[in-house]
């Protein structure tokens, strides 16, 4: 089936729009945790693994830059 000009002008189904915004909100929350940890927060840090806890406690520039980059890319 080929797309015509009429079918291209139709808005997406309501369920797809709701799913998109829900995924965007959850993804933003997921990214916010990395940015929070980059700036020194430690809430829920123990849920990601011991190596991550030790790296976050190191507080070096590279850990800060890495967590910030991960948060931005998420």
Q: Domain range holding 71?
A: 30-74
In a domain, 74, yes or no: yes
Instruction: Give me the DSSP letters along 8-39.
Output: HTSPPPHHHHHHHHHHHHHHHHHHHHHHHHHT
In a domain, 19, yes or no: no
Identify the pLDDT of residue 37.
Answer: 84
Dist CA 53 CA 57 (whole Å): 6
Whether the per-residue pLDDT at 1 is higher than 60: the answer is no
> Residue 49 in 3-state DSSP?
coil
Number of structural domains the chain divides into: 1
15-59 pLDDT, tens digit each: 999 999 999 999 999 899 888 888 888 888 778 888 777 877 777
pTM of the model: 0.64
In a domain, 23, yes or no: no
In a domain, 42, yes or no: yes
**Over residues 55-74, mean pLDDT:** 84
In a domain, 10, yes or no: no
């Amino acid at each position: 089936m080929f797309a015509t000009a009429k079918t291209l002008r139709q808005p997406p189904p309501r369920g797809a729009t709701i799913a998109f915004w829900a995924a965007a909100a959850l993804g933003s929350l997921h990214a916010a945790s990395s940015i929070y940890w980059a700036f020194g927060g430690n809430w829920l840090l123990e849920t990601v693994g011991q190596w991550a806890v030790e790296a976050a406690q190191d507080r070096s520039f590279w850990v800060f830059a890495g967590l910030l980059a991960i948060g931005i890319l998420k």
